[in-house]
Amino acid sequence: MRKLGKKYVEASSKVDKTKVYDLAEAIELVKTTSITKFDSSVEVAMNLNIDTKKSDQQLRGSIVLPNGTGKSKKILVLAKGAAATEAKEAGADFVGDQDLIDKISNENWFDYDVIIATPEMMPALGKIGKVLGPKGLMPNPKTGTVTPTPAKTVADVKKGMVEYRADSLGNIHGVIGKVSFEDKALQENLTYFVNTILKNKPKSVKGVFVKSISICTTMGPGIKLNINSFDK
């Protein structure tokens, strides 16, 4: 069993494990439990009552947080013609088509955080899907990263778009900002993230949808939230 560090133990002692915290109290507390020397990310974890073996319960998408994530991302766009020009003007870091696909394939090039592609590029990109998939880089229509208008998605990523995907146990994770954010900004981001998931409840799910919600900082202890703090 991994030995817990002194800083983690001290931070964890501030959290009442038997309690579910209201939104404002949880945000205030999570900022005091950061144990890193850098500006830690604040993350949300939701456990949902879903069966991801059923196609309509495989939750996946993207959310543009109202106050961003505090993290800049390098964006690669695979497109041709006007779509490529517009993506470059929107601020994409790398823009190309087959030349960049070949660079990924031949050089194991991964100096970017997000790939956005037009539909016409997907057959060629699909040939290296086994390389991109495990790294979470394969574009997908559900997250808006396969689109005929990549410039819009470039703008969304720069504003603070985060992707989410439920794992086999029904867990969804997402970054909602940095410890340095104002409490109000973190509250707004968290509320927007959770309410977006709530609005996307599959029709086939009966009874309770959200089993639990918690937040934490990078390497910090989890803080359970009162589900009633959010819209139903």
Task: Report pLDDT for 8.
Answer: 83
Partners of 77 in beta bridges: 95, 116
The list of the chain residues with pLDDT below 70 reads 1-4, 232
Task: Report pLDDT for 3.
Answer: 54
34-50 pLDDT, tens digit per residue, is: 888 889 999 999 999 99
User: Could you give the residue range(s) of every CATH 3.30.190.20 domain in the chain?
Assistant: 6-68+161-229
Task: Report pLDDT for 2.
Answer: 52
- Topology at the third CATH level for domain 6-68+161-229: Ribulose 1,5 Bisphosphate Carboxylase/Oxygenase (3.30.190)
Which homologous superfamily does the CATH classification assign to the domain defined by 75-159? Answer: Ribosomal protein L1/L10, domain II (3.40.50.790)
HEC-encoded secondary structure of the chain:
CCCCCHHHHHHHCCCCCCCCECHHHHHHHHCCCCCCCCCCEEEEEEEECCCCCCHHHCCEEEEECCCCCCCCCCEEEECCHHHHHHHHHHCCCEEECHHHHHHHHHHCCCCCCEEEECHHHHHHHHCCHHHHHHHCCCCCHHHCCECCCHHHHHHHHHHCEEEEECCCCCEEEEEEEECCCCHHHHHHHHHHHHHHHHHCCCCCCCCCCEEEEEEEECCCCCEEECHHHCCC
Task: Report pLDDT for 14.
Answer: 87
Q: Whole-model pTM?
A: 0.86
User: Could you give the residue range(s) of every CATH 3.40.50.790 domain in the chain?
Assistant: 75-159
Task: Report pLDDT for 1.
Answer: 40
